[in-house]
Amino acid sequence: MIVVTGADGFLGSAVMAGLAARGHALRGLVRTLDASTVARPEYLAVGDLARVGDETLRNALRGASAVVHLAAQAHRPLDADIESAAALRRVNVEASERLASATAAAGARHFVFVSTVKVHGDRSLPGRPLRESDPPHPPDEYAASKWAAERALAIVAERTALCVTALRLPLVYGPGVKANFAALARAVARGVPLPLAAVANKRSVLGTGNFVSALAALLASDGAGRHGQLTPYFVTDAESVSTPDLVRALSQAFRVAPRLFPFPASALRIAGAWLGKSETVERLLDTLEADATTFRTHYAWTPPYSLAQGVAAMLADRPPL
């Protein structure tokens, strides 16, 4: 039995569908049941994982061989908001630590924690992708909370001999994607001219189909992890992509002509600052690559889906299984 937290979210929905298609027995933990989950016995409402009672948590983890922890506080700028920063720590750090301890107590072998590439920063040097051994440099409260959670989970692993794997993910896209990726897709679909033709960046991305495939390979490798410690990995698509290439892939999927024109990056940064959209603009302009060689080698895994296939699945609103 694999227990998945955040099972009705963007990633959780893909994981539940993908692992079920591979024959796994699943229990999806959600805050509350809704119209899409109330009649499905594999879903269990547990409320807030940071505050749920011990008995409810034990029941939720009963019979689990592994736990995939996806539930988290969503990413948004929070640096100046003390109350929100505290919520980030409660949900992303304290709840994760408590869940891992309960996982070990339930006799499960493996705890998979979804982290972020931004543990190492929000940019990489051209031609030098980030590696798991690089020093941490979280640029915001969200990334800092994920790094703090990894450190707390490492202590739980050492104390309980639990195998803990942290998957540090880049930008993830797929059916149900929201935020900046969805906004870019809408702009492309509407034929909005985009001043991005001169951008020469490279960014690692990850389609949900590839994420589920990597997760399945990880879960199938019983005993391949390191018990008693946390092991971090980057997981990405096979190829990094520039922002113009991403626009072209979306255009091809929408069957519209890409409307790109060149504009100085410096002017774009100034406009972003003036509009309060600096973070969004930086993501469109900067390079952020991660080297996923370690995971691919360790688990003999190759991403099965191309960017074009992942984008097509996103637009069809169905996960590639």
Average pLDDT over the chain, rounded to whole? 91
pLDDT of residue 35: 86
Contact 71, 5 (CB under 8 A): yes
Name the residue ranges covered by the structural domains of the chain: 2-174+204-237+289-305
Quick one: 259 exposed, middle or buried, by C-beta within 10 A (0-12, 13-18, 19+)?
A: middle
pLDDT of residue 81: 61
Taking CA 133 as the corner, what is the angle to CA 128 and CA 135, rounded to the nearest 5 degrees? 85
Average pLDDT in the 172-183 region?
A: 89
Average pLDDT in the 33-60 region?
A: 90
pLDDT of residue 5: 97
Residues 213-231: tens digit of each pLDDT: 999 999 998 655 678 899 9
Measure Cα distances from 198 to 134, 244, 264, 265 in Å. Answer: 30, 8, 8, 8
Check: CATH 3.40.50.720 for 2-174+204-237+289-305?
yes
Residues 179-209: tens digit of each pLDDT: 888 889 999 999 999 999 999 999 999 999 9
Residues 282-301: tens digit of each pLDDT: 888 899 999 999 999 999 99
Average pLDDT in the 95-112 region?
A: 95
pLDDT of residue 224: 53
State the helix-helix crossing angle for 95-105 and 141-160, rounded to 10 degrees: 20
Least confident of 5-9, 101-105, 127-131, 222-226: 222-226
Rounded to an integer, what distance in angstroms lies between the CA atom of residue 168 and that of residue 140?
15
pLDDT at 83 over 70: no
Rounded to an integer, what distance in angstroms lies between the CA atom of residue 255 and that of residue 273?
33
Rounded to an integer, what distance in angstroms lies between the CA atom of residue 18 and that of residue 215?
10
Average pLDDT in the 163-173 region?
A: 96
Average pLDDT in the 6-13 region?
A: 94
Measure Cα distances from 167 to 8, 117, 197 in Å. Answer: 19, 9, 32
For CA atoms 76, 136, 115, 305, the dihedral sign is: positive
One-letter amino acid of 313: A
Contacts of 213 (CB under 8 A, 6+ apart): 18, 301, 303, 304, 305
- Ramachandran bin of 23, using left for φ above 0, alpha for ψ from -120 to 50, beta for the remaining angles: left
Least confident of 7-21, 33-47, 102-116, 271-285: 271-285
DSSP class of residue 75?
P
Q: How many CB atoms lie within 10 A of CB 317?
A: 9
| % pLDDT > 70, the chain | 95
Q: E strands along the chain, which residues?
A: 2-5, 26-30, 43-45, 66-69, 110-116, 163-169, 171-173, 205-207, 230-234
pLDDT of residue 80: 53
Q: What is the residue-wise DSSP string for 128-188?
A: B-B-TTSPP---SHHHHHHHHHHHHHHHHHHHH--EEEEEEE-EEESTT--HHHHHHHHHH
pLDDT of residue 240: 96
Classify 65 as helix, strand or coil.
coil
pLDDT band at residue 78 using 50, 70 and 90 as cut-offs: very low
Residues 247-277: tens digit of each pLDDT: 999 999 999 999 999 988 888 888 888 878 8
Rounded to an integer, what distance in angstroms lies between the CA atom of residue 298 and that of residue 308?
26
Burial 21-56 (b: 16+ CB within 10 A, else e): eeebebbbbbbeeeeebeeeeebbbbeebbebeeee
Contact 165, 231 (CB under 8 A): yes
